[in-house]
Amino acid sequence: MHLNAKIGLEIHVQLNTKSKLFCTCSTNLAKPNSHVCEVCLGMPGSKPVLNKKAVDFSVMLALALNCKVPKISRFDRKTYFYPDLPKNYQITQYNFPIAQKGYLQILNKKIQIRRIQIEEDPGAITYPYHIDVSKYSLIDYNRSGFPLCEVVTEPDFSSSKEVKKFLKMFISMIKHLGIYSSNNSFRVDTNVSIGRNPRVEIKNIGSIKDVVSAIEYEIYRQKFVLESGKKITQQTRRFAGSTTEAMREKETEEEYGHIIDPDLPPIVLTALHINQIKKKLPELPYQRAKRMFNQYKINKHQALAIVSEKELADFYEKVVKHIEPKFAAGWISTQLLKVLNYNNIYFSEINLTSQQFISFLKLIQAKEISDRAADLLLRELVLKPQNPKKLAEKLNLLNLTEDELSKLINIVLKKNKDSVDQYKKGKTKVLAFLIGQVIRESKGRADAKIVKELIMKKSFLY
């Protein structure tokens, strides 16, 4: 059954402020229910006061995503009844959001941003055991009132692969902006539909890997439902490790009963204030890629791959202070990312230092290890970062000396006299076979170029 998938995202980013959105309580992690006050606990008579830094951070993100920022935006009350929502409503934006109609380019595709809104986070419900078997739940209101920026895309994605590229670039962008740190919360709701069938929303997914897994499973599930002759119903589901599970029938926006919050005045942004924020914007990933392309003379695909993670881009710029930029870019954008992808990890999750990688590249440049041995060494370095040369010695990956290699070549040539005779008769293609045999005998420790040079010096070949 060939039905196109339509996927949209709602990304909730916890803004990197020191205090909550509407009160002065700290956003630092702490003992449960220790960073709370009458405002974030929703006590009667308490009045919210807006955090200006959260507004400025939201405008920064809006400008980076090419959004239109209106002069006036407002807060609404979104009513629903959860135990972690002490007021029984959430302060958010709906009719008048902080920004609208933007986009983020991923390769040759433009993903449209429908809206960006500022809102408060509810508290956190925890279960002593698994949710299905716990007899009670616990609520921590420390998180209640944390400042969030929600970014809503149009359903422009057609695959989990596109979603992964977008989210990697998006996270790189918010880290470059300085409005988010990896210690903060990052949660995604994703809407998935196939063909013209109703969309299904999967709530509160906490990592890019899980978003990709949830989408892939949900597309498979929906196709299976249709192939079974059943109908897909509009509902809310949750991601449960490797599958999605139904939670409830999907609510409509009308059910939330949005009303303007009477305790908060409108946000009024002057053109001067917006321009001041715009001038303070740091170098963004796509701008950094363009600079790298011009400054280091690397190709565009390498530059885009490197800036896909801020930590990786910072790492590269440290490495090129000591290593030729094109050489470094080749190893980082291909081999290093290949190892990371194979192990399903991100660069930010490993502890490889720039100095260790510089030492690794210098081993290759000095021809102390072959390219094949370097590949094997890099796989180990990514998982267990340490001194590259000592690790190469331990793994027996250092190149053989010229004397050792010459002896090995003599052994191979004597074992393959027929091939030597063919070479003498003008069948030069046999040379590649002989080189391969030497590399095989050396267990990958021989460099193909050096092997070729040494073989060609052997007088008895002529």
Model pLDDT for residues 11-47, shown as the tens digit of each residue: 999 999 999 999 999 999 889 999 999 999 999 999 9
Q: Where are the domains of the chain?
A: 5-278, 283-394, 402-461
Among 49-53, 289-293, 329-333, 342-346, whose mean pLDDT is lowest? 342-346
Please, are residues 88 and 81 in contact by the beta-carbon 8 Å criterion?
A: yes
Q: Cβ-count burial of 237 within 10 angstroms (0-12 exposed, 13-18 middle, 19+ buried)?
A: buried
Q: What is the pLDDT of residue 351?
A: 95
Band (pLDDT 50/70/90 cuts) for residue 250 is: low
User: What percent of the chain stands above pLDDT 70?
Assistant: 97
* Average pLDDT estimate for 172-183: 87
Identify the pLDDT of residue 262.
94
Provide the 10 A C-beta neighbour count for residue 384.
Answer: 11
Among 16-20, 176-180, 260-264, 443-447, the minimum mean pLDDT is found in 443-447
User: pLDDT by residue (tens digit) across 77-97?
Assistant: 999 888 888 899 999 999 999
Q: Is the pLDDT of residue 336 over 60?
A: yes
- Cβ-in-10-Å burial (0-12, 13-18, 19+) of 307 comes to buried
Report pLDDT for 462.
47
Which sign, positive or negative, has the C-alpha torsion 316, 320, 322, 324? positive
Confidence grade of residue 268 (pLDDT, cut at 50, 70, 90): very high
Q: How confident is the model at residue 296 (pLDDT cuts 50, 70, 90)?
A: very high
Give the pLDDT score at 1: 52
Q: What percent of the chain has a predicted confidence (pLDDT) above 90?
A: 69
User: Which regions of 80-120 does DSSP assign to beta strands (E)?
Assistant: 89-92, 99-106, 109-120
Per-residue confidence band for 252, with pLDDT thresholds at 50, 70 and 90: low
212 beta partners: none
254-277: average pLDDT: 91
Residues 59-83 pLDDT 10s: 999 999 999 999 999 999 999 888 8
CATH, range 402-461? 1.10.10.410
Question: What's the confidence (pLDDT) of residue 438?
Answer: 87
The pLDDT value given to residue 424: 81
| pLDDT above 90 for 143 | yes
Q: For residue 357, which amino acid is it?
A: F
- pLDDT (tens digit per residue) in 399-410: 887 788 888 888
| H or E element, residue 337 | helix 337-342
Q: How far apart are CA 283 and CA 414, in angstroms?
A: 61
Please, are residues 26 and 214 in contact by the beta-carbon 8 Å criterion? no
Q: What is the 3-state secondary structure (H, E, C) of 275-317?
A: HHHHHCCCCCHHHHHHHHHHHHCCCHHHHHHHCCCHHHHHHHH
- Give the residue-averaged pLDDT of 111-134: 89
Residues composing the chain: 462
Token reading at 165:
């590229």
Helix (H, G, I), strand (E, B) or coil at 365: helix
Burial-class residue 148 by CB neighbours within 10 Å (0-12, 13-18, 19+).
buried
Structure token pair of residue 185: 């919360």
Per-residue confidence (pLDDT) for residue 446, from 0 to 100: 79
Q: What is the mean pLDDT of residues 419-436?
A: 84
DSSP one-letter code for 195: T
pTM for this model (two decimals):
0.84
